[in-house]
Copies of this chain bind each other. A is one copy, B any other.
Amino acid sequence: MFSKTCEYAIRAVLFIAQKSKDGNKVSIKEIAKGIKSPEYFIAKILQDLSRKKMIQSAKGPNGGFYLNKQSLKYSLADVVKTIDGDAIFSGCGLGLEHCSETRPCPIHHKFKKIRKELYDMLRSARLGEFNERLEKSLLHLRRA
């Protein structure tokens, strides 16, 4: 559904949201361990998200990644769009460029509905909303 990069990005961002909520910063190493992802790879992804202002970072000792007020309000849909673009929310299920209401592919109408639900679901999920459940281990970001 999403690219690997995007899956890691979402997991990382939710991890950062939870770990940085009291003003702390989280290092790449911690994040990589926390979500069980390849360290150098997640580093690249976070650099990208940071450049695009989706997350915040600070260099130097005691530096790391964190989320500001604005970032906590971003939704999972924002993260997906930042990494994978919005093809998944608006593209044709069969890959047709000009698929539309007036020139639909065979699954256009039904697919549109599903895409919308996916979008609404991700749009309504804010980065900060999983913190408590993550802390209580009611939700998980890494493989067992």
Q: How many identical chains are in the complex?
A: 2
Q: What's the minimum C-beta distance from A37 to chain B, rounded to whole angstroms?
A: 9
**21 A/B residue pairs, CB under 8 Å, sorted by A:** A1-B1, A1-B93, A2-B94, A8-B95, A10-B94, A76-B107, A96-B140, A96-B142, A97-B143, A98-B143, A103-B140, A104-B140, A105-B140, A106-B130, A106-B133, A106-B141, A107-B121, A107-B125, A114-B117, A114-B118, A114-B121
| Range, interface on chain A | 35 or more
Q: How far is the CA of A105 from the CA of B11 in the complex (A)?
A: 9
In the bound complex, residues from chain B placing their C-beta under 8 Å from that of A72 are: none
From B4, B110, B130, B142, A121 is in contact (CB under 8 Å) with: B110
